[in-house]
Amino acid sequence: MKRPRVLRRWFKRKFGYARLVCLALLIGVAALRIADPAPIEELRVRTFDTFQRIEPRAKMARPPVAIVDIDEKSLAKLGQFPWPRTRIADIVTNLTRLGAAAIAFDIMFAEPDRLNPDVAADTFRNLDEETRARLRQLPSNDQLFADTMQRSRVVLGETGLPHIRSELDKTLPVTGLAMLGEDPQKFMFKFPGLLRNTEVLEKAAGGRGLLTINPERDGIVRRVPMITEAQGTIMPSLSFEILRLVTGTDTIFIKTDQAGIQSIGVKGFQIPTDLNGQLWVHFARSDPSIYVSAADVLDGSVAPETIKGKLVLVGTSAAGLNDIKTTPVDPAMPGVEIHAQVLESALTHAVLAQPYYGPALEFFSALILGLLVIAFAPGFGPITLVVVGALFAAILIGTSWYFYTEHRLLIDFTYPLLSTSLIYLTLIFTSFVREQAQRRQIRSAFGQYLSPALIEQLAQSPEKLVLGGEEREMTIMFSDVRGFTTISESYKHDPQGLTALMNRFLTPLTNAILARKGTIDKYMGDAIMAFWNAPLDDREHQFNACEAAIDMLERIDELNKERELEAQDGGHAYIPINVGVGLNTGTCVVGNMGSDLRFDYSVLGDSVNLASRLEGQSKEYGFPIIVGSKTALAVKDSFAILELDFIMVKGKKEPEVIYAIAGRQDTAQSGRFQRLRNLTIEMLACYRSRDWDGALAAIERGRRTDEARALELLYNLYEARIVGYRKNPPPEDWNGAFALLTK
């Protein structure tokens, strides 16, 4: 009895039951990769989608493909589709005249033209027999289209069907095939049926290709079959048939081995495929420049260089014609552009491939990494485990990314990463339990001092439990209620009413700040301090701060209207709430500020002090929103900005130009604001050049305008200064700055 117990202790100490479980896991995930169920494949292809979204194929300066688009414009101008075959023939004629290298149709002509003359003879009423006979003698629209195709190089599209619609005409031409290796038909995708174009068109075409593009299970098009069996006939894709036609090759070469199809080629092009003969499309982002409206082709308004020497695909982007597909880089790409993307990838030798050795590489990578983790991970501490796990993940992702970007090979890292992660998670379970205990200790120790959000931040990252901060450019706001002492005196017998009032006006002010991405720093009685661009980045922090300030005033106006009605109904005095706001932008230090025992996430700096001083000056200038120069310059095109003064704030050595925000852009464009600004500019120019009489004259003219009320406090302020300067003139080196005596 004692010996087995000793062996168990030795096994637990030297090897551990966790390692045994992980070995079983490793065997299980190895079997999972061999089975390759749908979720594993889905994870793999989604990874390849991500690669293409991050780095899609680069477009050529002069794309080799053009698309003649039967778009909404064409349908509006020329009527609903299908069009008469004579109109399609005109498109081919015009494209050939413009120098198209080849033309392919991503549309079907499976039935005779409904506007053929013989159909009209049998359909139209009230025709005499002579007219009917003459109509029957005319060549059909299909024959005219066929004759036009024979004078050009045209590929017609055919469609695979889930059922046999009719027997195939064995006399119609087929593309020649040459096979190297195993019989490729057992690997190809198969369609039970095949829908062809009318016989006269099939015989006249230079080539025929399958235009069918089937999305994968999740509805995304990633691969396009280059070779397919449809109703017993091996068919190339539409895009590959174009390559065959322009290279002058009569035969398509298919290379296979025991695993499946390896590649498909024509003269000058060898395209790797997956084992089923599908090409992984290396997608570029949708390129509107390759589209030409069919209406423009028909009316001859297309520039020759748009078509000359290019492979031209004729298809549709019109929503009503239902040829819109989802791709890894575009949620709504016309099917015809997918054929264009295949052609561009082939012509630029930028095709993607999943190499035959890929599955073996993925399998053995998972096996080796799993064994390494099982062997060494239990001896690591929690931090080392995280670092090593991240390193393994980075190696796997980096290797896969390297093969994709440098060699255009698709190597899956998700399976090795999944396998290693399962083992890794099992091994770090005990470390996780220890970490959880540490977090509970932090929550218990600091729960009474810090906000819940900061507590969670510290619990997740205990190393952040230090004082300090970082430098950022930020916009700071101070707001305060004007005359709050008078308001509070009216509630001296109702302190609870005063508390309710404070909550009532602080709530909309706070909501206005938070709605514009602001962070509330603190409440100071009836005052609020807030800032922008921390802790989250905000590239438009100046704009958002100014919007918040205006929104605060609007919300206070609404609150005052409600309070005035309540005062009338209650028969008590009404004292309006007026808010002053100071905004300033500059470099600040933001972070955890305080003592070792208690600290807050706050902001410090000279720019913060200036914002506070500006808020204090709003009552002096008669404008509720005062901003510093950096804030004003950043938002001058979005708001009504009015220059007020050039001041020397107490405690600062450098003067600052300050501005008022009088409204949004609609205010800035109004005639009233333009007059206000012009009057102010004239007055300030005279004042700073010591032209006291000119400044007073400008003030007097301003007082005679309709805008006098808005500038009254500003006029009074400058009048008082001018009186003082006349008695005690400023020094010779005076630059127009006025030193504020108060904070």
Q: Which residue has 């009532």 as its token pair?
A: 504
Q: Do residues 418 and 549 both lie within one domain?
A: no
pLDDT at site 12: 47
Same domain, 413 and 542: no
Q: Is residue 563 part of a domain?
A: yes
Asked whether residue 467 is domain-assigned, the answer is: no
- Same domain for 335 and 418, yes or no, is no
Q: Provide the pLDDT confidence category of residue 663 given band limits of 50, 70 and 90.
A: very high
Q: What is the mean pLDDT of the chain?
A: 83
Range of lowest pLDDT (68-72, 254-258, 432-436): 432-436
Q: Which residue has the higher pLDDT, 270 or 550?
A: 550
The better pLDDT of the pair 324, 639 is held by 639
Least confident of 15-24, 216-225, 545-554: 15-24
**In the predicted model, is pLDDT for residue 180 greater than 70?**
yes
Q: Do both 676 and 639 map to the same domain?
A: no
Please say if the pLDDT value at position 731 is more than 50.
Answer: yes
Question: Is the pLDDT assigned to residue 466 strictly greater than 50?
Answer: no
On whether both 587 and 724 belong to a single domain, the answer is no
Q: 74 and 44, same structural domain?
A: no
Residue 172 has pLDDT above 70, yes or no: yes
Widest pairwise Cα distance in the chain: 116
Who's near 606: CB < 8 A, 6+ residues apart? Answer: 586, 652
* pLDDT for 77 beyond 50: yes
Cis omega (within 30 of 0) on the bond before 117? no
Residues 320 and 375 in one domain: no
Domain-embedded: residue 509? yes
Q: Which residue has the tokens 């009216």?
A: 490
The parent domain of residue 579 ranges over 475-664
Q: Which residue has the tokens 């921390």?
A: 534
Q: Is 125 or 280 the better-scoring residue by pLDDT?
A: 280
* Percent of the chain with pLDDT strictly greater than 70: 88
Query: Residue 331: its pLDDT value, please?
Result: 87
Whether 326 and 360 map to the same domain: the answer is no
Residue 450 confidence (pLDDT): 39
Which tokens is 370 given?
A: 């799993």
Domain boundary among 616, 635, 664: 664
Question: Does residue 305 register a pLDDT over 60?
Answer: yes
The pLDDT of residue 445: 41
Does residue 542 have a pLDDT over 90? yes
In a domain, 303, yes or no: yes
pLDDT average, residue stretch 179-184: 88
Q: Check residues 438 and 161 and name the one with the higher pLDDT.
A: 161
Query: Given strand 227-230, what is the order of strands in its sheet?
Result: 190-191, 227-230, 233-236
| Predicted confidence (pLDDT) per residue in 210-262, tens digit | 998 888 888 889 889 999 999 988 999 999 999 999 988 888 899 998 888 88
pLDDT digits (tens, 9 = 90+) for 565-599: 988 888 888 889 999 999 999 999 987 776 655 66
Q: How many domains does the chain fold into?
A: 4
> Read out DSSP for 29-77?
HHHHHHH--HHHHHHHHHHHHHHHHHSPPPPPSS-SEEEEE--HHHHHH
- Residue ending a domain, among 298, 320, 347, is 347
The answer, as to whether pTM is greater than 0.85, is: no
Instruction: Report yes or no on 146 lying in a domain.
Output: yes
Q: Of 393, 427, 461, which closes a domain?
A: 427
Any domain includes 439: no
pLDDT in the model for residue 270: 86
Long-range contacts of 44-47 (CB under 8 A, 24+ apart): 44/412, 44/414, 44/415, 45/216, 45/220, 45/222, 47/400, 47/412, 47/413, 47/414
Residue 446 domain-assigned? no
Quick one: which of 514, 513, 676 has its CA closest to 583?
513
Q: Are 281 and 345 in contact (CB under 8 A)?
A: yes
Q: Is the pLDDT of residue 459 over 70?
A: no
- Say what the pLDDT of residue 449 is: 33
- CA dist 422 and 418 (Å) reads 6
pLDDT score, position 382: 61
Q: Both tokens of residue 727?
A: 């008695």
Model pLDDT for residues 10-19, shown as the tens digit of each residue: 444 445 566 7
Helix or strand holding residue 228 (H, E)? strand 227-230
Provide the pLDDT for residue 94.
94
Q: Residue 355: pLDDT above 60?
A: yes
One domain, residues 410 and 334: no
Report the CATH number at residue 531. Answer: 3.30.70.1230
Residue 354: helix, strand or coil by DSSP? coil
What's the 3-state SS for 641-668?
EEEEEEEECCCCCCCEEEEEEEEEHHHH
Q: What is the 8-class DSSP label of residue 732? A: T
Query: What's the count of helices (H) and strands (E) in the chain, helices before strands?
Result: 26, 27
The residue-averaged pLDDT of 348-357 equals 81
Pair (308, 388) in one structural domain = no
Residue 464 falls within a domain, yes or no? Answer: no
- Residues 199, 262, single domain; the answer is yes
CB atoms within 10 A of CB 442: 17
pLDDT grade for 512, boundaries at 50, 70 and 90 = very high
**Pair 507, 565 in one domain:** yes
